[in-house]
Structure 1
Amino acid sequence: MKHPVLKIAAAAGLSLAMISAASAETVLRASHQFPGGKGDVRDEMVQLMAKEVNAADVDLEIQVYPGQSLFKAGEQWGALVRGRLDMTALPLDYASGRHPEFSATLMPGLVRNHERAQRLNDSEFMDMIKKVINDAGARVLADAWLAGGFASSERCITGPDTVSGQTLRAAGPAFDEMLATAGASIASMPSSEIYTAMQTGVLDGANTSSGSFVSYRIYEQVTCLMAPGENALWFMYEPILISEQSWDKLNEEQQAALTAAGEKAEAYFAEEAAGLDQKMIDVFKENGVEVVNMTSENYNAWLDIAQKSAYKTFAENVPNGQALIDAALAVE
């Protein structure tokens, strides 16, 4: 009677082992600050990667945590490079406090339009930025440059003379310095906090990406929007990143599947990028917000201030600062 019992126990043990092996897939946690399920292209990029990786059937899963549900916006870079977080969609300039070189990815007037943003992705400039990312302990899975504009509850922000006396949010040190030089007061915060800050009177206006202007419903708090058009002063690099520690734990098949998923996410973003600006314009107009465009004259006036303030400071104080600016400007 003992042998059948042993056989049953052995079979049960084998079944449990098989179940355990079958469920032993690698899970990557992806965190970002943007709203989930509301049409934000950055969330859509990460969700697309999760679907592609799942379809590749390489025992790899990406669990997506949108809306700061896992890490706050300002915590993601530190968590990523320490290996506490696997993946993130991150406005890279948020990490410029640790790596001042990253401010080049939100430098006024350095990109100007979506076509040039695409050319920058394959340039020496981006090779230099990605080396800083790699040396810090992360790597890029998908590139994304988002255009942005200015919005205010006080008056239209067009030329530099229109920001005097306004308290503005600008996203990074380079824009902070340019706007302060033009006479604005600065309040720093992630884009996820703009709505509440405007609602409570902490801010008069802000600049952020076209995607964030819509997904965070900033149109409910402002009276005028300056859209980027062909003269976008504000462009920000917001890639999808993976921790090098997490990458090294993957096998070759999983790394290949993740790389392929990143390429698809990047291609998807490239198709959507310019449409984000028009979507922003349409949504703001539908909600009664006045929309104006950045003219070449205003663009050049801002650029002149930026070159005398933010560009100068960056070149003098940041390692390879002038080389980074030169490499970006060398892209036609």
Structure 2
Amino acid sequence: MNKKLLSLFFVLIFLVIVLAACDGGSGKTSGDSEEPITLRLAENQPEDYPTTIGAKEFARLVEEKTNGRYKIEVYAGGQLGEEKSVIEQVQLGSIDLTRVNAVPLAEFSEDIGVLSMPYLFEDEEQKWKKLNGEVGQELLSTFEGSNLVGLAFYDSGERSFYNSVRPIKTPEDMEGLKLRVQNSEIAIDIVEALGASATPMEYGEVYSAIQTGVIDGGENNLPSYYTANHYEVAKYFTDNGYQGVPEVLLASQQLWDSLSDKDKKAFREAALESVPVQREAWAELVKKSRKTVKENGSKIIKVDDITPWREAVQPIYDKYGDKYGEWIDKLTK
């Protein structure tokens, strides 16, 4: 009897040792000992650019909110490809996340095109209250069915006009100017409604085209005017913020479907909480850009009353009203 008890005792000791070994001997659960899941986020701007700063803050917050179970590596400077290629790879799930401008995304969500409408918001406060709120999330949800998941909007500033000919203070001053625009129907319509001639052109060709007189100027935000050195050949920048298309932080549907509800909530929270950091970095770049171009002789013409400009682009609202009317109401009222 004693031998049987002794044998049973040794069997129990053996089982305890085996179970302890399976648990790693550390007291951790199997979930605690798992390696973090590493995700890739594609960013085509440099390491110190505001959108990259925002993406890195998003990555930090995701890691924090998921207790290190997810780690996001931000590949800046276009390391994972140019914008169109990246969007396609995110759709396929070969890239997990990205940040791109809303303009090319209209191909995947027609509704997102409403953000290209001129003078859409009364001011920055209204714009970001809407984009960071329920209406913004509703607009991001329109990517459903495209294998893209919208998480948050980032700041890309306000686009304005610049040229090498004369200061522009009113829509009448636009008459006859040849201005480079993005290759989109609404961009062309806006410039022509203001009396100028719209010339679609690759961005990299703009500097030499202004320098040689092929065009008189272009349109973009102040940091782009500065970083592309367009201020060297087009000295007049009209600061009237006619259009403010934001950036969009996106996830692949494949990644999204793999997340638990709790982790989806963490990713969305991290995206929204990264917005103030990105916007602060953008404001700093605008400040630096303004200072530098002024020091180099550019004239920044501030337009305080945009009423005449709003009236001049009314044909755009007449043309696109049926298409975007519902969203215009949601975003502006």
1:1-332 correspondence to structure 2 within 5 Å: 24-37=35-48, 40-55=49-64, 57-122=67-132, 125-145=135-155, 146-163=157-174, 164-170=176-182, 172-188=184-200, 194-195=206-207, 198=210, 203-228=215-240, 232-251=241-260, 254-272=263-281, 274-296=283-305, 299-308=306-315, 310-316=316-322, 318=323, 321-330=324-333
Q: Could you list the runs of 5+ residues in structure 2 that have no partner in the other structure?
A: 1-20, 25-31
CA distance in 1, matches of 2:50, 2:317: 30
Q: Could you list the runs of 5+ residues in structure 1 that have no partner in the other structure?
A: 1-10, 15-20
Deviation at 1:175?
A: 3.1
Instruction: Decide which structure has the larger Cα Rg and report it.
Output: 2
- Cα deviation, 1:74-127, whole Å, max 9, x if unaligned, reads 344333333233212211122224433222112100024211112212556435
- Of stretches 273-282 and 110-119 in structure 1, the one that deviates more from structure 2 is 273-282
- Cα deviation, 1:277-318, whole Å, max 9, x if unaligned, reads 43332121122211111231xx2222123221x2222224x3
Kept in 2, the 8 Å contact 1:58–1:253? The answer is no
- Of stretches 190-199 and 234-243 in structure 1, the one that deviates more from structure 2 is 190-199
> Which amino acid in the other structure matches residue 162 of structure 2?
A
Deviation at 1:241?
A: 1.5
TM-score normalised to structure 2 length:
0.76
Question: Alignment partner of 1:90: what SS?
Answer: strand
What is the identity percentage for the equivalent residue pairs of Structure 1 and Structure 2? 21
Deviation at 1:166?
A: 1.1
CA distance in 1, matches of 2:257, 2:208: 40
- Cα deviation, 1:255-289, whole Å, max 9, x if unaligned, reads 45433432331121344555554333212112221
Change (3 A) 1:150 1:55: same
CA distance in 2, matches of 1:169, 1:176: 7
- Cα deviation, 1:116-139, whole Å, max 9, x if unaligned, reads 112212556435422312343323
TM-score normalised to structure 1 length:
0.76
CA distance in 1, matches of 2:167, 2:140: 36
> Which amino acid in the other structure matches residue 59 of structure 2?
A
CA distance in 1, matches of 2:314, 2:146: 28
CA distance in 1, matches of 2:186, 2:47: 29
Change (3 A) 1:188 1:129: farther
| Residues matched between the structures, number | 301
Change (3 A) 1:104 1:47: same
- Of stretches 142-151 and 234-243 in structure 1, the one that deviates more from structure 2 is 142-151
> Which amino acid in the other structure matches residue 100 of structure 1?
E
CA distance in 1, matches of 2:213, 2:34: 51
Question: Alignment partner of 1:242: what SS?
Answer: strand
Question: Alignment partner of 1:140: what SS?
Answer: strand
CA distance in 1, matches of 2:137, 2:268: 18
Question: Alignment partner of 1:30: what SS?
Answer: strand
- Of stretches 286-295 and 260-269 in structure 1, the one that deviates more from structure 2 is 260-269
